[in-house]
Amino acid sequence: MSQTQSNAYIIEIHDRAAGIITRDERGFRFFSSERLFDSLEGRQFRSAREAERAARAVFSERSRRANSSLFAN
């Protein structure tokens, strides 16, 4: 029995759909599904895990900025 891998995955960060990655010959390409993750649009990743880490980093950075501006006043 051969095992097939999916060619597309949804990346969710804290119950938010960050985007979809699709497999191609060079790895995985990211397609943003929410404005917050638009900076990753079209980026190529070696693995699904790498794409997920990048989306988590974007989310964390946005959270840090929101928290620091909240306490800046």
Domain boundaries, the chain: 5-68
pLDDT tens figures, 18-65? 999 999 999 999 999 999 999 999 999 999 999 999 999 999 988 777
DSSP-assigned letter for residue 26 = T
Helix (H) or strand (E) holding 21: strand 16-24
The predicted pLDDT at position 64 comes to: 79
Supply the Cα-derived Rg of the chain in whole angstroms. Answer: 15
Does 4 have pLDDT greater than 70?
A: no
Question: Could you tell me which residues come within 8 angstroms of residue 50 by beta carbon, excluding any fewer than 6 positions away?
Answer: 28
- Give the helix, strand, coil percentages of the chain, each rounded to 5: 40, 30, 25
The predicted pLDDT at position 30 comes to: 98
The predicted pLDDT at position 71 comes to: 63
Rounded Cα–Cα distance for residues 34 and 55 (Å): 11
